[in-house]
Amino acid sequence: MADDVALSGIPLTMLWTLHNRACEVRRPDAVLDDPEAVRLYQAIDFDYHRAFGAPDGTHAVRAARFDAALRPWLAAHPGGTVVELAAGLETQFQRCDDGRVRWVCVDVPEAIEIRTRFLPPGSRTRYLPISALDLSWLDEVDTAHGVFVTAQGLFMYFDPEDVRRLVTAILDRFPGVELMFDTIPPWFSRKTLRGFQKTPDYTAPPMPWGVRRSTVPALLRGWSPRVDAVEIACYGPSHGPLATLTPLFDRLPVLRDIPPSIVRVRAAA
C-alpha cells in the first residue's frame, strides 16, 4: 500500500526530481539505471503527473552526470566521504555504493523525515536534519580519506551571498575537496521569480541564484583562492531534439549561457 507525504515549498521538489528519474528509468532507452527510484515512486501516494506534468528526463541526465563523476573518485579514494546536500529522495548512494564509502545526507528536518521513512540510514550512511546553510554540518564530516560534496538542485534556491558563503566554507574546510553542483541561467531564474507555474496545480519555488555559465570560473576563483580546477558542462532532456542538440551548446560560445549547467570544482590540497 502506498504511503502519503506532506511536503510544500522547496522540499516538495524532491518529488519533482523523483518523478523525472523514475519515469526515465522505466523507459527501454533510459539514460539512468535507478531501480530504487522506481520503488520510491510507487511507494509514495502522490499525483505526480497532476503536479509536475509529463516527465522530461532532465533530472535523470543530471543524476547520471553526477554518478559518472563520483564513481572514479570513489575508486581513487577508498573509504572516502561523500556529503550529499539537499539529499531529499535522491538515490545516488544506492546507485554508486562501493561497499566502503561513508555517506552523509544533509537536508531540512521535514525532508530527512521522509527520507528516513523510505530510505533508512545504514552503517555507512548518516542523516543530518539541518539546512545546508547551517554550517555546523561541516563538523560532522570525516576527512581522513577525502571528501566529495554534491548539491543537486540546491544552490539556485539560495540568495547569491548564501551560495558564496557556503561554497567558500566548503573549500576552506576541506583541502582537496571536490564539489559538484548545478546552476540555472539568469533567464530561468527571472522566470521563477515572476512565478513559474509548471502546471495549473504546481508553481515552482523561486530560484534567486541564476548565473551565466561563462562567468562561473572567474566567479568561483574570485570567491576563494583555494579553487584549483573548474569543469563545466551543460545538460538537458534525456531524449528528443533538445537532447540531440545539447553538445552544440557546449561547443558554441554564443549558446553556452542558455541551458543549465553542471559545475565540478576541485580545491587545492
Instruction: Look at 10-24, 165-179, 202-216, 231-245 and tell me which has the smallest mean pLDDT.
Output: 231-245
The model's pLDDT over 183-201, given as tens digits with 9 standing for 90+, comes to 999 999 999 999 999 999 9
Q: Write the CATH number for 202.
A: 3.40.50.150
Q: What value does the CA radius of gyration of the chain take, rounded to a whole number of Å? A: 18
Residue range 59-102, pLDDT digits in tens: 999 999 999 999 999 999 999 999 999 999 999 999 999 999 99
Say if residues 81 and 102 touch (Cβ distance below 8 Å).
yes
Q: Could you tell me the residue range of the domain that residue 193 belongs to?
A: 57-267
In a domain, 141, yes or no: yes
- pLDDT given at position 243: 77
pLDDT of residue 239: 87
Tally of structural domains, the chain: 1
Residue 18 located in a structural domain: no
pLDDT digits (tens, 9 = 90+) for 3-44: 677 788 899 999 999 999 999 999 999 999 999 999 999 999
Q: Nearest CA to 179 among 239, 220, 212, 215?
A: 220
Evaluate if residue 259 carries a pLDDT over 60.
yes
Domain assignment of residue 62, yes or no = yes
How sure is the predictor about 1, in pLDDT bands with cuts at 50, 70 and 90?
very low
242 part of a folded domain: yes
* pLDDT at residue 229 is higher than 70: yes
**Residue 19 counted as domain residue:** no
Residue 23 belongs to a domain? no
**Three-state DSSP string of the chain:** CCEECCCCCHHHHHHHHHHHHHHHHCCCCCCCCCHHHHHHHHHEECCHHHHHCCCCCHHHHHHHHHHHHHHHHHHHCCCCEEEEECCCCCCHHHHHCCCCCEEEEEECHHHHHHHHHHCCCCCCEEEEECCCCCHHHHHHCCCCCCEEEEECCCHHHCCHHHHHHHHHHHHHHCCCCEEEEEEECHHHHHHHHHHCEEECCEECCCCCCECCHHHHHHHHHHHCCCEEEEEEEECCCCCCHHHHHHHHHHHCHHHCCCCCEEEEEEECC
Q: Is pLDDT at 164 greater than 90 in this prediction?
A: yes
What is the pLDDT at residue 249? 80
On whether residue 25 sits in a domain, the answer given is no
Domain contains 67: yes
Q: In percent, how much of the chain has pLDDT > 70?
A: 99
Q: Is 150 exposed, middle or buried (0-12, 13-18, 19+ CB in 10 A)?
A: buried
Q: Can you give the pLDDT at residue 85?
A: 98
